[in-house]
Structure 1
Amino acid sequence: MKGQIKVKKLNDTGLYISEMDWDNTYICKENPIGNFVMVIEPLSGFDGGIIYFDKKTDGYLIEGEGYILVGRPDEIQKRVRKWKQEYAQKPFKHKEKKLS
């Protein structure tokens, strides 16, 4: 799905992961607090693998292939670490676009 999040800076890999948060929507037996993180990555499934950005006064609004990871904090952190390692060696270019 298409996703947007606000970040402080752009990075070379195009992979963006939000801080962990919680929401009643994601509460279940395996996730009693409703922990989640949002992930944006450059996959070819969304607009040819492009991450779009819009410079704001306090950071950047970015848009790309979006996911929400839910579960126990340790499981989420493990998946995030693996994702970051996979993207560490993949330089990526961003395209500027007006985002709302």
Structure 2
Amino acid sequence: MRKITSSLAALALLVAVLAGAASAQNPIPVTPQPYPPASPVPNFYFGPTVEGVFPYVAGLTPYSAETNNMSLEGYLRALVFQRTGKWMSLADAERVLRMQRSQ
């Protein structure tokens, strides 16, 4: 009887130790941190700085595969961004497109 009792006590102690070790491995919930402050708003782009010439897009079909399914204004903005790394405003893109169509 004494051997059974000591075996049960040892088993209970083993279970308690393993349960304690398992509960210690649960990660503590991470406290959400606030977002860092946003970077300042970039300046608007008012035309090419070096080349002085916009890509000609007036002859393309809007919303087609050749304009990557974009409007002509959006496609012009994307091309200028690829060349200069700066976004031109939509009003400037519309103005350039009107000038290209009138030529």
Query: What TM-score results when the alignment is normalised by the length of structure 2?
Result: 0.23
Q: Which of the two has greater strand per residue?
A: 1
Query: What TM-score results when the alignment is normalised by the length of structure 1?
Result: 0.24
Q: Which of the two has greater helix per residue?
A: 2
